[in-house]
């Protein structure tokens, strides 16, 4: 951000007034007096006016989308497929997804420019619970549920036990809710495949404290204050 804008944002004064401060040599960036209005202030810089540190309370953006199937969880796609960029309002700052959903998976996805929170939420140590509504082939038997509960072996690792709840079941199809706290590539699909119930459709209905609710595919909303507080609590609870 440019220095004059930075100072104005920090509430030091109106644009004009802060420009006068800069020109007068009363502003230092990282210990050096700066008289150039167009100086760029890199993130993490120390800015002082008359030897008093100034800080901009940077506002972070958080956005929850219901990613439809057929959308990449990436900022661009060399193959020209739809990406989540198409689901972000145009006037938003650059926000990026926290974790990812497969191209074929729909459901709740959090996007933010809050790198610290994104790191915490994606870190395996904090193990945020994620719930998926899966439609799978065949009838899920109690023995399948037990296997999933105990944790199944996938190629490169052993998946931790999942919580599974059957919602509806027929001989040829089962609808179930499955909750995991890991996030390996295609993990739910591979777990269900390993008990021989391949996924037909997969929707993430919950990401930690955020429920998909009635958010229509392709639509977005800001988290509520309560959801945001609960997201932030994920890291603080785990680091205590
Ligand atoms: N597990 C999967 O298999 N796919 C997803 O998109 C998310 C979790």
Domain borders along the chain are 3-54, 62-120+215-239, 129-207
Tokens linked to 219: 């639509």
Q: Assess whether 177 carries a catalytic annotation.
A: no
CB count in 10 Å sphere of residue 53:
10
The percent of residues above 70 in pLDDT, for the chain, comes to: 96
pLDDT tens-place string over residues 1-14: 888 888 877 778 88
Cβ–Cβ under 8 Å, residues 183 and 125: no
Cβ–Cβ under 8 Å, residues 111 and 96: yes
Q: Say which residues have a Cβ less than 8 Å from residue 223's Cβ, sequence separation at least 6.
A: 62, 64, 110, 210, 231
Cβ–Cβ under 8 Å, residues 131 and 181: no
The conformation of residue 99, written as its DSSP 8-state character, comes to S
Ligand 1 site residues, Cβ closer than 6 angstroms: 101-102, 105, 186-189, 202
Domain 3-54 belongs to what architecture?
Answer: Roll (3.10)
Atom of ligand 1 nearest to the CA of 186: 3
- The answer to whether the predicted template modeling score (pTM) of the entire model surpasses 0.85 is no
Cβ–Cβ under 8 Å, residues 77 and 86: no
User: Do the domains at 3-54 and 62-120+215-239 have one common CATH topology?
Assistant: no
Give the span between the Cα atoms of 57 and 63, in whole angstroms. Answer: 19
Give the CATH H-level superfamily of domain 129-207: Alpha-L RNA-binding motif (3.30.70.1560)
pLDDT band (50, 70, 90) for residue 237 = low
pLDDT tens-place string over residues 18-43: 999 999 999 999 999 999 988 888 87
pLDDT band (50, 70, 90) for residue 107 = very high
Half-sphere CA count of 44, side-chain side, radius 13 A: 0
Residue 233: is its pLDDT beyond 50? Answer: yes
Quote the ligand 1 centre to 126 CA distance (angstroms). Answer: 18
Residue 158: is its pLDDT beyond 90? Answer: yes
Atom of ligand 1 nearest to the CA of 204: 7
Residue 240: is its pLDDT beyond 50? Answer: no
pLDDT tens-place string over residues 193-228: 999 999 999 999 999 999 999 999 999 999 999 999
Give strand pairing partners of 53: 48
pLDDT tens-place string over residues 48-89: 999 988 877 668 999 999 999 999 999 999 999 999 999 999
Quote the ligand 1 centre to 63 CA distance (angstroms). Answer: 20
Atom of ligand 1 nearest to the CA of 100: 6
Domain 62-120+215-239 belongs to what architecture?
Answer: 2-Layer Sandwich (3.30)
């Amino acid at each position: 951000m440019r220095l004059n804008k930075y100072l104005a944002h920090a509430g030091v004064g109106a644009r004009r007034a802060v420009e006068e401060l800069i020109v007068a040599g009363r502003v230092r960036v990282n210990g050096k007096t700066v008289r150039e209005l167009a100086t760029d202030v890199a993130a993490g810089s120390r800015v002082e006016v008359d030897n008093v540190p100034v800080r901009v309370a940077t506002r972070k953006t958080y956005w929850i989308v219901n990613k439809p199937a057929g959308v990449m969880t990436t900022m661009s796609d060399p193959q020209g497929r739809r990406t989540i960029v198409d689901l972000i309002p145009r006037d938003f700052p650059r926000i990026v997804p926290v974790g990812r959903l497969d191209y074929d998976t729909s459901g709740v996805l959090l996007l933010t420019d809050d790198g610290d929170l994104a790191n915490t939420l994606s870190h395996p140590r904090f193990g945020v619970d994620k719930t998926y509504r899966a439609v799978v082939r065949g009838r899920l038997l109690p023995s399948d549920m037990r296997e999933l509960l105990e944790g199944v072996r996938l190629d490169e690792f052993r998946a931790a036990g999942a919580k599974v709840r059957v919602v509806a079941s027929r001989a040829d199809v089962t609808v179930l809710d499955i909750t995991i706290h890991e996030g390996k590539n295609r993990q739910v699909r591979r777990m269900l495949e390993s008990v021989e119930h391949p996924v037909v459709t997969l929707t993430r209905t919950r990401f930690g404290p955020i429920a998909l609710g009635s958010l229509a595919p392709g639509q977005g909303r800001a988290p509520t204050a309560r959801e945001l507080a609960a997201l932030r609590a994920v890291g603080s609870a785990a680091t205590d």
